[in-house]
A and B are shown apart, each in its own frame.
Chain A
């Protein structure tokens, strides 16, 4: 045999040394990554805004209108130097964001970014991203241009003739800036067609002929529009506004004033105070963004149940809001989870797969917002929209939430649905009494007799037994039985015979 199992494999490398190496990832991977991660322009914008939040910015201005051919995101955060840029951007996903601390240096905010891929969100929207950034105490103004369209080209096209060098993915220069300034300005240039249409608000998914836009509206005006009972969904607005609302839902901005009925305000104060403490203000074409969560039950009843959970694998806090009737707009149905103050996707109308045994209708009466601790972050997938359902933190929180949901649904059934029923029964009893009076008016009887009959129902209207009697339903057989029993006492046999004949004809019609 030419081969033996005992032979030591030989290599061409006479040194026969172990070797190590680095798997270099082509920058084109950015394109593959981003297209899988960011499903909408809003998802891309919120990534960049959350980057500003992580840079301790207190003010962010986003400029989209009039054409969304260029989007500008300006913040007053701590800024970036050339070294910072190279450290953070040269190797995608090797984030240094939480190297030294997982809270921001100045404002002590829990950092949202984890693996440093937020910037590639821009790849989904535009061809070129320009960054202007400067740090306090430095006179250097970093200017970098990242050319996504270049990065997307096949490697063969990017290689220069006869060399191993490729065209640069980014180019930079250092300009001058006053040393006291600190900011980052991001210009997203050559915004892609589809994203541009959505961002500028060309149309809406709604069939409504009267598409509304939130462009140029104040936070107060937006609350008024969101409280409109005729608003079924954010899709009733144009794409521009829907994007604005989606961004606002995700990022750590404040709640609007009067977002819950006055009687419930004490129950949500701690959540309001928590986001206020973050001191993060974002304006979108001049409109101050607030969380687009507004509960407006009108004259219907509602309640809030607080939620606190300290489990083995995860802790969370939050609230369950329930009202009599469907919560509008429907974008607020379900469960919204926040980790480090940023939302994980939107409201999930299935409440993480909750299948209630009681009144599925009530499911649309409830809106839940939960802040989970960092342990749930470990269950979060790279898309920041989904969670690994087998992760212990997810399992534990889901089970607890479903337990609490059952209780909240029971409470809603009892306090809102059944209480509503009681009200409706009382109304019906009053209506029935009116009908009796009206029927009696057609009979020739003395006023004394009339008063006596009416008084009987009037006097006891609030008594449950009388209400029950008023609303009781009888079968034809029961009716015959009652009528005959009473008629026998007050009619002759002949009158009874005539009466029953007419009654039968009437009922048989």
Chain B
């Protein structure tokens, strides 16, 4: 980095910059998706990668190393890549840091919630922001749990609503194959009401697809599933973190698939991972969810939804503290 670009760096940020092996592995999975998308289509007008990268912008460095993000002799983003890679960063300090590390990088100084114009389904972004939202890859590396909230008189899961709006935007003409990279806290700090919302979704789903019950029971255990299904109050602080992560590994993709079922996607969970087993690390869950345009025309979206639900756990895996991926089915 040129001397001109060396500015004061927050020591906390420097500490955060130390990359944990688990995160390095996750990032590499993300970059592989970017490589796949760039191989699938040479079309250049659509952004390839939109992300909540944080102030370090590790992904942009990796995208550069993968030959996707071209930089000039000064380290600035090449003109041909100026609107291909986009960071969403509300924090001014992080914004400043990113713009110094990657001059020319498109950075949207907004919260992700503002980008999709809140939780309402009546307002959608237009113009340049809409274009950004239709990126081939959306990486929501969130510093939050999967949390139902009361919005007016309706319970919603804000993250799920945001994903639903991204999917809706990609579904508008011309429909665009895209991939969601989603990372969340691996805990379930749900209130009693929030537990009821999750419980209701699960019971509704099992009513329609009873064949799923056995698989889920095998995955999270009979006791937890029974408590959820019977809407018993669960003190999640006593539930082992691993079990909470595993619950989320099934609940989150399920909610996404249900939320987007009317949009006609062939949704598949390409990676379904938990990590952060080290006592000093926060437990995390991460997914790579692909939204393909279905190859066959169906009268209803039900076959695609069922296929998605039945395969959610096919790629379930965990990453060890030293960064190795272990798939539960041994793949």
Contacts and interface: CB of A to CB of B under 8 A. Distances in A.
Contacts of B73: 216-218, 221
A70 interface: yes
Interface string A261-301: 00000000000000000000111011110000000000000
A150 interface: no
Size category of the binding interface on chain B: 20 to 34
Nearest to B13: A178
Contact of A215 (B6, B75, B93, B104): B104
Nearest to A75: B7
Interface in B72-87: 72-79, 82-83
B119 interface: no
Given A61-B4, A74-B100, A178-B11, A286 B76 contact: yes
B72 A286 contact: yes
Contacts of B208: none
Given A63-B100, A65-B82, A185-B93, A286 B75 contact: yes
Contacts of A282: 4
Interface string A117-144: 0000000000000101000000000010
A216 B5 contact: no
A72 B79 contact: no
Interface in B1-54: 2-8, 10-12
A63 B96 CA distance: 9
Contacts of B75: 286
Contacts of B92: 130, 132, 143, 185, 187
A182 B2 contact: no
Nearest to A182: B8
B10 A59 contact: no
Interface string A57-84: 0010101011100101010100000000
B contacts with A: majority SS:
loop
Given A66-B82, A66-B106, A67-B106, A183 B76 contact: no
Interface in B98-145: 99-100, 103-106, 109
Interface in A31-49: none
Contacts of A331: none
Contacts of A76: 7-8
Interface string A184-196: 0101000000000
A282 B99 CA distance: 14
Contacts of B103: 61, 63, 65, 216, 283, 285-287
Interface residues of A, number: 33
A187 B75 CA distance: 22
Contacts of A215: 72, 76, 79, 104
A288 B5 CA distance: 9
Contacts of B3: 59, 281
A221 B103 CA distance: 17
A187 B106 CA distance: 15
Contacts of A287: 74, 76, 103
A287 B105 CA distance: 14
A283 B104 contact: no
Contacts of A410: none
A181 interface: yes
Contact of A283 (B2, B12, B95): B2
A176 B12 CA distance: 13
Given A70-B109, A187-B92, A288 B2 contact: yes
A286 B78 contact: no
Q: Which of B72, B82, B105 has the most CB of A within 10 A?
A: B72
A65 B85 CA distance: 13
B265 to A, nearest CB: 31
A213 B74 CA distance: 14
9 contacts: A63-B103, A66-B105, A76-B7, A130-B92, A216-B74, A216-B77, A285-B103, A286-B72, A287-B103
Interface of B: 2-8, 10-12, 72-79, 82-83, 92-93, 95-96, 99-100, 103-106, 109
Given A65-B82, A65-B104, 5 more contacts: A65-B103, A76-B8, A185-B92, A215-B79, A215-B104
